[in-house]
Structure 1
Amino acid sequence: MSVTASFDLLLRGGRVIDPAAGIDGIKDVAIRNGKIAAVQSDILPTSAKDVVDVTGKLVLPGMIDTHAHVFQYVSGRFGMQPDMVGVQSGVTTLIDQGGPSCMTLPGFRHFIAEPAKSRVYAFLSAYLVGGLEGHFYPNLYSPDGVDIDATVKSAIANRDLVRGIKAHAEIGGFARWGIRVLEMAAEIGKRAELPVYVHFGQLWGLPESGTNGEDVDTILERVIPLLKEGDVLAHPFTRHPGGFVNREGEVHPVIQAAIDRGLKIDVGHGSHFSYRLAKKAIAAGIVPNTLGADIHGYNTEVPAPAGTPDEHEDDENHPFKGQAKFSLVQAMSSMISLGLTLEQVVPMVTSNPAKMIGMSDKIGSLKVGMDADVSVLVEKPGRYILRDNENTEVISNGLLQPAFCLRAGTRFDPIAPILPQAVAA
């Protein structure tokens, strides 16, 4: 170690991809006092107290998951432990989608956001009850469960934590209640001057809910006019009715018009994702802006805490049984397997989500002076099988996996038990 070392840490020789800074090449990244101090070629190793050789690895701005469910213990089996989804999976920033409400936000702040090693933000639920298990308790999610004034007041008073509004669609919401809840969520977003994130995953939902005369293929054309520039359409590739691909198997004609007037698209991967429909949408030129993983307890095998017996271990019907392991990095591999390039996918987890939540000056880049949030990935060569919830398989030529990440200069290794194991083709 040099006694004249001017940097605390040097990441040496990796391929740095920083879309916000216009960098894509072999560079060294120097860190001092938890901040980015330099990004350039051939920084002297003797200038740093510690040097990590990242030759052959990808060095990205700390990755941002735009669709997390981390209101652990409160949002039922949806809620994951934040750092398991975050820094232990190579992801430095999480945006919880609709877990907290104006009523429960203080608890989310105190028990989730503040203790987490990962950065944690929230899109505030439009509903007073927040992101409870709405498919069990649908009557909580009617228009009567929305208080526009209270939610606007809470969002404005908590700007540091609340970066948007979540317009939920608990299973069958559109068929049960029509468009009113989405109108109310759009009003909250306009008054709070925040983006609205609209869940199209299962707006239509359960047959027993009835249709009330609603036509599933009119959802998009009726919802989109309510939205403003910067609002987000989520789950475009859902396998459920009401998404971007209509009953005739064609991409809905209003989507391109929506993109043209400034609406954004988030993958919201999770259980809604269909390789079959994603291929159709991407072939039609629909490329998402952001890539939320949408990891939750219903689509991910969540291990019982150490020393705690799993009471459902022998229950074939319990919600975690047989689920896959998953991560945001795996979702990146999904998109690449569909024909997008690495250069197209990296902005979806770095600069674009930072812009989505109005924080491009703080996260999503490796510019000098910013917190040293860094995600380092490896590209594992070979042919691998990826599978969606329809059991459709695609072959990925190579697989991205997290090597480690830095959160404000502190290193975290990828020890999350939910990280998937590669399955060779």
Structure 2
Amino acid sequence: MSETHTFDLVLRGGRILDPANGLDLVGDLAVAKGRIAAVAERLPDDAADTILDVTGKLVTPGLIDTHAHVFEKVTGRFGLNPDMVGVRSGVSTLVDQGGPSLMTLPAFRRFIAEPARSRTLCFLSAYLVGGLEGHYYPQLYRPDCVDVDATIRVGRENRDIVKGIKAHAEVGGASRWGLDVIKQAKRIADGIGVPLYVHLGQLWPEVEGGEAVDPDMLVEELVPLLDSRDILAHPFTRHPGGFISTRTGEVHPVIYKALERGLTVDVGHGSHFSFEMARRTLAAGILPYTLGADLHGYNVKAPVTGAGGDREANPFYGVAPFSLTHAMTELLTLGMALGDVLKTVTSNPAAMLGMADEIGALTPGMAADVAVLEVKAGRWQLSDNSGERVTAPEMIVPAFSLRDGVVQEVDSPLLPKPIPVAA
């Protein structure tokens, strides 16, 4: 910011949408010293060092992805580069869900969170091993692979980046050790004073020769263990043990009880998104509170650069390329209002993280994390993990973003190219 100018940067003429502050206006947004400085219908032409014309675009608080897997290298093929998932995809803040553990958190801080241009936080794994290869080996996630007291200590010592605890409640684990690990994880979360984020939907195969686990009974036993700050993930999963009862095909009654008690819902898109399950859940009046893309090395194109140049990072390369804005488009297509969709990636996750005074809004004085988005009209093809194809009348695409007031170019190879559908 020069001596002759009030601001470093002004975004001019965009539609400013800020759910936290109830803002919906066409106007200017100013940034100074990495902070939101002003929002007005028109600021003086000589007010800033740089003025960027964003006419026709949306200007929103910086997007927050509540379900990322970015513990690159340490979690094997599972972990993606944080900036590829983050600022290069138009996302300001990432929450790694269960990648680092009490043993590997120092490496996560030093080699991921600190060098990343994206604000990179985590929900600490309840398990000693964290998210190695995406929890590919169930034998590593049993009750004796959890250290409650040590994880509480590490979480308390690193509250600046540890915002919750991650664990799994699904039939494969339940067939081995019931809900013992969830009970341990809840003790950890309560000991640190953070939410417990619970994966729903089958992850591991059930034990051969053992007694089959009733997925509905599992959900019924799980919910009473949780309280109002906790989070149920993957409401739209196509796998058994989610929100939709395998008996009735409708939302399980215990889910309503959970929401009445204040538990919240995170989409956790990833490999768990089904249009059919989403329709049933939304028709039942259940809206997601937060939206995590759940990108990882097994469900997106993830080029890795090494001595031999770019190579395929995993055997499932390119199965389902998508992004956070792509997931936002799907919610919009399913009938959610644009304002409600924006809440899931701005004000709601900021509140869930306990950071509503720092991110998730365009309030003067807060961090200048800003998303500039385009909503492109047309006929766009979307597809889910079950193979269903849906035609969307609008597509949300990131143009660029600001992270602490610095312009970030959107050039991630993970961003899917919108596929137009012939009229």
Asked if Structure 1 and Structure 2 have the same fold, meaning a TM-score greater than 0.5 normalized by the shorter chain, the answer is yes
The AA in structure 2 aligned to 1:267 is V
Aligned residue runs from structure 1 range 226-305, under 5 A? 226-247=225-246, 248-305=248-305
Contact 1:2 1:47 in 2 (8 A): no
Equivalent residue runs for 1:21-420 within 5 Å: 21-133=21-133, 135-168=135-168, 172-203=172-203, 205-207=204-206, 209=208, 212-247=211-246, 248-305=248-305, 308-309=308-309, 319-420=315-416
- Per the TM alignment, residue 364 of structure 1 is displaced from its structure 2 partner at its CA by 0.5
Q: Structure 1 residues 113, 312: CA separation in 2 closer, same or farther (over 3 Å shift)?
A: closer
User: CA separation in 1, counterparts of 2:170 and 2:109?
Assistant: 24
Gaps of 5+ in 1: none
Shift of 1:272: 0.7
Q: Distance in 2 between matches of 1:410 and 1:287?
A: 33
Larger mean CA deviation between 95-104 and 134-143 belongs to: 134-143
Shift in CA distance, 368/151, structure 1 to aligned 2, threshold 3 Å: same
Unaligned runs of 5+ in 2: none
Check whether the contact 1:290–1:348 (CA below 8 A) recurs between aligned residues.
yes
Aligned equivalents of 2:169, 2:112: Cα separation in 1: 24
CA deviation vs aligned residue, 1:105-141 (integer Å, no higher than 9, x gap) = 0010000000000000010000000011365421111
**CA deviation digits over 1:167-225, x for unaligned, max 9?**
1358821222211111111111111111000001325x425555534311112111111
Query: Which range moved further: 304-313 or 18-27?
Result: 304-313
Q: 1:379 to 1:286 in 2, by over 3 A?
A: same
Distance in 1 (CA, whole Å) between partners of 2:120 and 2:170 is 23
Counterpart Cα distance in 1 of 2:134 and 2:363: 41
Closer, same or farther: CA 25–312 of 1 in aligned 2, 3 Å = closer
Are the counterparts in 2 of residues 134 and 171 from structure 1 also a CA contact under 8 Å? Answer: no
TM-score by length of 2: 0.96
Shift in CA distance, 100/169, structure 1 to aligned 2, threshold 3 Å: farther
CA distance, structure 1, for counterparts of residue 345 and residue 135 of structure 2: 29
Distance 1:322 1:371, change over 3 A: closer
Three-state SS of the structure 1 residue aligned to 2:46 is: helix
Secondary structure class of the residue paired with 1:78: coil
**Which residue number corresponds to residue 17 of structure 2?**
17
CA contact (8 A) 2:279 2:334 kept: yes
Contact kept? 2:169, 2:179, Cα under 8 Å: no
Q: Secondary structure, in 3 states, of the residue corresponding to 2:109?
A: helix
Q: Shift in Å at residue 320 of structure 1? A: 3.0
State TM-score, norm by structure 1.
0.95
Distance 1:312 1:23, change over 3 A: closer
Residue type of the alignment partner of 1:263: L
How many aligned residue pairs are there? Answer: 420
The amino acid across from 2:225 in the alignment is: L
Separation in structure 2 between the aligned mates of residue 211 and residue 279 of structure 1, nearest angstrom:
34
Question: Does the C-alpha gap of structure 1 residues 401 and 311 become closer, same or farther in structure 2, counting only changes over 3 Å?
Answer: closer
Structure 1 residues 416 and 152, CA, compared in 2 at 3 Å: closer, same or farther? Answer: same
Contact 1:2/1:46 (8 A) holds in 2 = no
76-85 vs 321-330, greater mean Cα deviation: 321-330
Instruction: Say if 1:256 and 1:145 are closer, same or farther in 2 by CA, change over 3 A.
Output: same
| Distance verdict in 2 for CA 1:171–1:67, change over 3 Å | farther
* More off after superposition, 298-307 vs 270-279: 298-307
Distance 1:115 1:170 in 2: 35
Residues 307 and 212 from structure 1, CA distance in 2 versus in 1: closer, same or farther, beyond 3 angstroms?
Answer: same
- CA 1:210/1:68 → structure 2, altered by over 3 Å: closer, same or farther? farther
Give 3-state SS (helix, strand or coil) of 2:133's partner. Answer: coil
* Deviations 1:224-279 (CA, angstroms, capped at 9, x unpaired): 11111110000011110000001131110111111111100000001111111110
Q: Please state how far the C-alpha of 1:72 moved relative to its aligned partner.
A: 0.3
The 3 A distance-change label for structure 1 pair 211 and 7 is farther
Amino-acid identity (%): 55
For the Cα contact (< 8 Å) 2:302–2:312, is it kept in 1? no
Compared with structure 1, are the counterparts of its residues 421 and 153 closer, same or farther at alpha carbon in structure 2 (3 Å cutoff)? Answer: same
* RMSD of aligned Cα (Å): 1.8
Relative distance call for 1:85 and 1:297 in structure 2 (3 A) is: same
SS across alignment from 2:305: coil
CA distance in 1, matches of 2:210, 2:329: 37
Taking the aligned partners of 1:308 and 1:131, their CA distance within structure 2 comes to 27
Q: Which of 216-225 and 132-141 deviates more?
A: 132-141
Aligned amino acid, residue 243 of structure 1: G
